[in-house]
A and B are shown apart, each in its own frame.
Chain A
Amino acid sequence: QLQLQESGPGLVKPSETLSLTCTVSGGSISSSSYYWGWIRQPPGKGLEWIGSIYYSGSTYYNPSLKSRVTISVDTSKNQFSLKLSSVTAADTAVYYCARHGVEIDYWGQGTLVTVSS
């Protein structure tokens, strides 16, 4: 059974860079034709796709966040990562990592990241 687990700081200061890692277990991140992505959900609000990395290494980002987002993969560790720069309070959210093709079939449990000084 595939499992995804987010890790990283729960508190980030304004203007700094948010960094999260997703560790995948129960399957290889590079062995299948899937995307590995990040989705976030501000408290009490809906879901927003941040971006994804294809198993080949190609990246795709939400146009509204593209200038601040970098997603990378470390196949040796079976992990992929998110960096979101110049954060503000509006970036406070639960961040989920996920596997998807057309639809998202596996989700991490989510991690709350608060942007505050």
Chain B
Amino acid sequence: EIVLTQSPGTLSLSPGERATLSCRASQSVSSSYLAWYQQKPGQAPRLLIYGASSRATGIPDRFSGSGSGTDFTLTISRLEPEDFAVYYCQQYGSSFLTFGGGTKVEIK
């Protein structure tokens, strides 16, 4: 079973700053099988990035994903007020899904 570890647990930043979120896998993950989600309080998660680096429909270009193997990154180039939320990475393997523990991006 692949374990996804996200860091940091909490990121305290100001609007306009750059956010860099990490997702590390316990074993190599195909880039095609790594996704990122945003979740706001009281809402279901929303797909941001799939295939490690492709933005989902309607996702602003300030969100970008990168990485391969065991290390993946979600970058928010300039934080907007609506970007303060919790972010999860997720991998797919052999019909199973695994989520990381999440990174909370909070206003500093």
Contacts and interface: CB of A to CB of B under 8 A. Distances in A.
A49 B45 contact: no
Interface centre among B1, B44, B56, B102 (most CB of A within 10 A): B44
Interface string A39-54: 1000000111100101
A102 interface: yes
Given A63-B1, A96-B44, A107-B45, A102 B50 contact: yes
A109 B50 CA distance: 21
Contact of A49 (B37, B51, B96): B96
A15 interface: no
A49 to B, nearest CB: 4
Contact of A47 (B88, B92, B96): B88
A48 B99 contact: yes
B1 to A, nearest CB: 7
A108 interface: yes
A49 B100 CA distance: 11
Interface residues of A, number: 24
Interface residues of B, number: 23
Contacts of B99: 39, 46-49
A105 B56 contact: yes
B32 interface: yes
A55 interface: no
A52 B92 CA distance: 12
Contacts of A49: 96-99
Contact of B47 (A37, A47, A52, A103): A103
Interface in A26-40: 35, 37, 39
A35 B45 contact: no
Nearest to A59: B95
B38 to A, nearest CB: 12
A37 B44 CA distance: 14
Interface string A73-117: 000000000000000000000001000111111011110000000
Given A102-B33, A102-B50, A54 B44 contact: no
Interface of B: 1, 32-33, 35, 37, 44-47, 50-51, 56, 88, 90, 92, 95-102
